[in-house]
Amino acid sequence: MNAILWAGGNVPLETPDVPASVEVRPFHNEKQKLYNILLVNQTANSLIPVSAAPGVVRYVTPQKQLELTLHTDKKVKKVKSLKRANLKLERKNGAIEIKLSVLDLYDCISLEYE
């Protein structure tokens, strides 16, 4: 979404400085009064094998200081994280800024509104 013009007007979700290997997708369900933001961290590093066995060990690199901004005029009443991440939420100028402490592999953030 950072690379294309959002067809419905302004982009609803901003993810500045998020690496290309982290996928962020917003979903909105008006009937349930719910936003879901899916986060998938595909950042992996290879380690040189310790033994003589062929192949490499890959591990997911946590993403620290990841921030999201959801632009909405809705009044959010509840925020949940599937992985129970330490979410810090701030409201600024009709937008909601969400700061994640660490994105390990994947998460889904649910925002219920009134």
Residues 3-26 pLDDT 10s: 555 566 677 888 888 888 899 999
Under CATH, to which class is 13-47+56-113 assigned?
A: mainly beta
Q: Structure pTM?
A: 0.78
Q: How confident is the model at residue 113 (pLDDT cuts 50, 70, 90)?
A: very high
Contacts 24+ apart (CB under 8 A), 75-81: 75/113, 75/114, 76/35, 76/111, 76/112, 76/113, 77/112, 77/113, 77/114, 78/110, 78/111, 78/112, 79/109, 79/110, 79/111, 79/112, 80/109, 80/110, 80/112, 81/107, 81/108, 81/109, 81/110
Report pLDDT for 1: 47
Residues 46-101 pLDDT 10s: 766 556 665 566 778 888 888 899 988 888 998 999 988 888 888 888 789 998 87
Report pLDDT for 62: 85
Q: How confident is the model at residue 109 (pLDDT cuts 50, 70, 90)?
A: very high
